[in-house]
Structure 1
Amino acid sequence: MNIDYLIVGQGLAGSILSYQLLKRGKRIMVVDDPQLQSSSNVAAGLFNPITGKKMVKTWLADDLFPQLINFYGELEHFLNARFLYQKPIYRPFTSFAEQNEWIAKSADPTRQKFIQKNHHTSAYGDFVYDAFGGLELNFSGYVDIATLLKEYRAFLRREQMIVEEAFEEEKLTIFDDSAQYKHIEAEAVVYCDGPFSEEKSHFSWLPFRRVKGEILIIEPNEQIPVIFNRGIFILPLENGYCKVGSTYDWEDTSWDVTEKSGMELKGKLDAFFKKTYKIIDQVAGIRPATLDRRPFMGTHPVLKRLLIFNGFGTKGVSLMPYFSEKFCNFLIYGKELPFEANINRYFSLY
């Protein structure tokens, strides 16, 4: 079988990149083990233009957010499925000083489009503690990643574009002008397998920094009107449940849930959320984060038919539509990759 690109992994990165390549008329095949644990399937899928404790604008926000709404809407239409949910995120202020700071910041034209309303008094006091008001954001919401991946896998199956088995790296041979994997001959192979790329011999030298995250699934006694985000997020889902998260653990990178993280999340939730609720479940995933919190994209320093598209961490939903387009332009037209994401910044480690 002759194809253009063999994609290793059908998480969010592999799905988005393979779709972008198909749009450009390329022949692809995806190799993915359906039994393999995937952080994409348990991730909250939030996209949020104002993030962090200091409430700063997300890296590349002006480029990312208008594009991601269009991209996921287009993919919904292609798959005839619903997984994009645009929903305001409400971030309560913690003090009058922070409130005043954001009154000034709201006048900045580069921030105005991301702000739906700057509340100077409590806006959702029936639900959360917000005595100082808060910031209500535009270009925010979540992607139901599990549904996206399920529907995209069904498409790949129908079109016979997926091999559902574990990728066996020892059966991959890289030549100067092509790559061979079992019966498949490809122009190039792209690793999109999240934290598992770190276990592959060809990219184990890259400074991945796996981060475990755990999330609670709760059933509140009342429907939640917006996404709340301050210290933790409370994300209302279409089925009436909410996702609450997330923890960050750089030491324990197992896929197991822990009582410690469950108690941490419950403690933060009870200090922030006023409604009663029932805990339904607790899930864990391993984020494919990187040392400098920037993606890993580009060509292996020696094997020129071997590439990687990975390392998007907690902001993968926001980053991948934009960077997958950049990566396709690099693959197909030879355009330069953004410096911050190009793995050549770490070639000295090889």
Structure 2
Amino acid sequence: METDFLLIGQGLAGTALGFRLKEAGKSVKVFDRPDLNQSSRVAAGLFNPVTGRKMVKTWNADALFPEIIPFYRQVEKLTSKKFLREQGIYRPFLSIEEQNEWMGHSADPSFSQYLSAIHQQSQSPNLHDPFGGVMLKNSGWLDINPLLDGMRGYFGEDLILDQIEASDFQQEDGHWIIKGIKANSIIFCNGLGAMKTDFFDFLPFAPVKGEILEVKQAFSPDYIVNRGVFRVHLGNDLHRVGSTYTWHDLDQGPTETAKKELTERLAGLVNLPIDDYISQKVGIRPATKDRKPFLGKHPERQNVYIFDGFGAKGVSLIPYYSKVMTSFLIRNIPLPREVDIARYFNYI
């Protein structure tokens, strides 16, 4: 059995890159262990053009965001499933000064494509937004599990549910032989699993633990509320609330500390009690020290690549960078320096 590319991991990164390569006419095999693929399956799935405490435009947003909705709509059509939710994101202002600053942004062409409206007054008595807020567009969230499950059907027999061990990697006549499959190239798309191999253990992954709640709470607007914590309406007064960020206790499961933190942050955003706690989930994000993903070719090993390190913003980053990576693999178009793993070759 032969293939052009053998991808390790069918999380969001491996799914998108495998799809791009097949669309380009290349043969693909994908190895995956769904029980190890918790980062994608637990992720909140937001795509948000304005992020952070200082409410700045997402890094590289002008390249990233034109790709997001068309890409996921294409995959929806392919799988006959619905998982993309285009929704406005409402971000309350913390001060009158911030309100004035965003009034200025509204006249800035570099921001206008992401701004739906600037509100100078509170949008609901159920919200803590005395200074109003900004309503963003070209935003929303992705229900990742139906996407991954739907794409299993797309890959069909090319998806192999099996664990690969270090001893499985064999080379023969310039090809890789893994569990009976002869591959021209192998690509690691398996999140933190890549960090645990002797291929890419030199890369500075910075794993981040994140916890998310699902709660019952009245007040279900048709937009996402996001400031200090995000609140996504899932239907029937059920909301996803998150997320925490910690670099400690990565092996520990859901914690009361995170539950308390998220509950307190939500109370500072929504002026209503939580009616019920439905679930609490935890995932470890494959983040990086410089918060830029890892794309590129191994400096010494023949035909070994990585497409990984997307952290908490994978939903936004992966549509664009899977296109960039495909062009690199097929047409040898150079990768942008800021994401090319060559930026770390001096540290090997």
SS at match of 1:54: coil
Structure 1 residues 74-83 or 270-279, which shifts more?
270-279
Contact 2:126 2:219 (8 Å CA) reproduced: no
Mapping of residues 198-217 of structure 1, within 5 Å: 198-217=195-214
Mapping of residues 237-316 of structure 1, within 5 Å: 237-238=234-235, 240-254=237-251, 256-277=253-274, 278-316=276-314
* CA–CA separation in structure 2 for the residues paired with 1:15 and 1:37: 12
Instruction: Report the residue type matching 1:179 in the other structure.
Output: W
Instruction: Report the residue type matching 1:327 in the other structure.
Output: M
Mapping of residues 1-350 of structure 1, within 5 Å: 1-123=1-123, 125-156=124-155, 159-174=156-171, 177-238=174-235, 240-254=237-251, 256-277=253-274, 278-350=276-348
SS at match of 1:118: strand
Note the C-alpha offset of 1:177: 3.0
* CA–CA separation in structure 2 for the residues paired with 1:211 and 1:249: 6
Structure 1 residues 170-179 or 113-122, which shifts more?
170-179
* CA–CA separation in structure 1 for the residues paired with 2:121 and 2:334: 48
Instruction: Report the residue type matching 1:87 in the other structure.
Output: Q
* CA–CA separation in structure 2 for the residues paired with 1:221 and 1:237: 12
SS at match of 1:237: strand
Structure 1 residues 195-204 or 172-181, which shifts more?
172-181
Q: CA RMSD in A?
A: 1.2
Instruction: Report the residue type matching 1:312 in the other structure.
Output: F
* CA–CA separation in structure 2 for the residues paired with 1:349 and 1:161: 36
Percent identity reads 43
Deviations 1:279-327 (A, max 9, x none): 1110000000001000000011101311000001111100001000010
Structure 1 residues 209-218 or 173-182, which shifts more?
173-182
Deviations 1:70-125 (A, max 9, x none): 000011001111000000000000000000111111110010110000001112x2
SS at match of 2:307: strand
Segments of structure 1 that go 5 or more residues without pairing to the other structure are none
SS at match of 1:160: helix
Note the C-alpha offset of 1:58: 0.6
Contact 1:29 1:161 (8 Å CA) reproduced: yes
Instruction: Report the residue type matching 1:133 in the other structure.
Output: G
* CA–CA separation in structure 2 for the residues paired with 1:331 and 1:146: 27
Note closer, same or farther for the CA distance 1:334–1:175 as it changes in structure 2 (3 Å cut). Answer: farther
Contact 2:218 2:237 (8 Å CA) reproduced: no
* CA–CA separation in structure 1 for the residues paired with 2:236 and 2:86: 16
Contact 2:121 2:131 (8 Å CA) reproduced: yes
Contact 2:92 2:133 (8 Å CA) reproduced: yes
Contact 1:33 1:167 (8 Å CA) reproduced: no
Segments of structure 2 that go 5 or more residues without pairing to the other structure are none
Contact 2:10 2:189 (8 Å CA) reproduced: yes
For these two proteins, the number of residue pairs brought into alignment is 347
Moved over 6 A (4+): none
Note closer, same or farther for the CA distance 1:222–1:102 as it changes in structure 2 (3 Å cut). Answer: closer
Note closer, same or farther for the CA distance 1:119–1:36 as it changes in structure 2 (3 Å cut). Answer: same
Deviations 1:233-273 (A, max 9, x none): 00112464211011001112125111111111111111221
